[in-house]
Amino acid sequence: MNSVDRFSSRVENYAKFRPGYPPGILDVLKSDCGLTEESVIADIGSGTGFLSKVFLKHGNVVFGIEPNELMRAKADELLKSFANFRSVAATAETTTLPDGSVDFVTAGQAFHWFDRANAKREFIRILKPDGWVVLVWNARRLDATAFLRDYEGLLLRYSPDYPVVRHENIDAEIIGFFAPQPMKLASLENVQRFDFEALKGRLCSSSYAPEPVNPNFELMLKDLKDIFNTYNENGVVNFDYDTRIYYGHLRG
């Protein structure tokens, strides 16, 4: 399955159970990058709109660039109250935006799906000369707790695709993407709290998780339930994240 279609069957779980982004992102970008309410944002691979929403709440005009029709439709539904949201059916490599039209190119949980060379050319084209690229991930703390260690083990056990597509695989490539310009990294704490049904939805939102037609699906859920029963406190488990913000210029 190609990168555009991977989430088509997971839209509802994605919108309900994926983590949002902490508003502290705005503080970082205001301090280091001169973000203002007038800054124009191109949010690439915008999905159901988690990162777009952070900037829309700040008052920015946001172009949500999303090639998956179902994900884009969900964003249109969830963000319809924001007059500054512009939904665009396009890709990272061909955004359809005018030359030099945006102050920031952002990507939340999406950069690892891009054709990096073609995306870089496109970002340089649509950015103003002093524009910024901001790549954001909610990175699960894989080894922070016994629960998270066992959850990671479950993914490795039931998701053959997981080691291949996980975004951590391209951390080194991010430096190369910004090169020869320098890149900065900031990190913020983020957390989700799940009962079992929400934990199941979080798992099923992942593109690499087996779907109900897979013969291992029910066995995976049984193991997930066992893990939840072992570690929950008052019916809840914590997903702890580091929200990593990689940012810099693509031009000198």
pLDDT, tens digit, 9 for 90 and up, residues 46-65: 999 999 999 999 999 999 99
Residue 8 scores a pLDDT above 60? no
What pLDDT is stored for residue 206 in this prediction?
A: 82
> Rounded to the nearest 5°, which phi and psi values hold at 115?
-75, 105
Q: For residues 152 and 172, give the distance between their C-alpha atoms in angstroms, rounded to a whole number.
A: 22
What pLDDT is stored for residue 14 in this prediction?
A: 83
Which residue's entry shows tokens 């709290």?
193
Confidence label for 183 from pLDDT (cuts 50, 70 and 90)? very high
DSSP sequence for the chain: --TTTTTGGGHHHHHHHS----THHHHHHHHHH---TT-EEEEET-TTSHHHHHHHHHT-EEEEE---HHHHHHHHHHTTT-TTEEEE---SS---PPTT-EEEEEEES-GGGS-HHHHHHHHHHHEEEEEEEEEEEEEE-TTSSHHHHHHHHHHHHH-TTHHHH-GGGGHHHHHHHHTTS-EEEEEEEEEEEE-HHHHHHHHHTSTTSPPTTSTTHHHHHHHHHHHHHHH-BTTBEEEEEEEEEEEE-S--
pLDDT, tens digit, 9 for 90 and up, residues 64-74: 999 999 999 99
Q: For residues 241 and 252, give the distance between their C-alpha atoms in angstroms, rounded to a whole number.
A: 32
Q: For residues 104 and 120, give the distance between their C-alpha atoms in angstroms, rounded to a whole number.
A: 13
CB 138 within 8 A of CB 109: yes
Confidence label for 172 from pLDDT (cuts 50, 70 and 90)? confident
Q: For residues 104 and 176, give the distance between their C-alpha atoms in angstroms, rounded to a whole number.
A: 19
Closest CA to 58 of 87, 31, 16, 30: 30
Closest CA to 89 of 69, 61, 118: 69
What pLDDT is stored for residue 45 in this prediction?
A: 95
31: CB partners within 8 A, 6+ apart = none
The number of beta carbons lying within 10 Å of the beta carbon of residue 71 is: 23
What predicted TM-score, i.e. pTM, was given to this entire model?
0.90
CB 113 within 8 A of CB 3: yes
pLDDT, tens digit, 9 for 90 and up, residues 57-116: 999 999 999 999 999 999 999 999 999 999 999 999 999 999 999 999 999 989 988 999
Closest CA to 231 of 149, 166, 111, 174: 149
pLDDT, tens digit, 9 for 90 and up, residues 199-251: 999 998 887 888 888 899 999 999 999 999 999 999 999 999 999 999 999 98
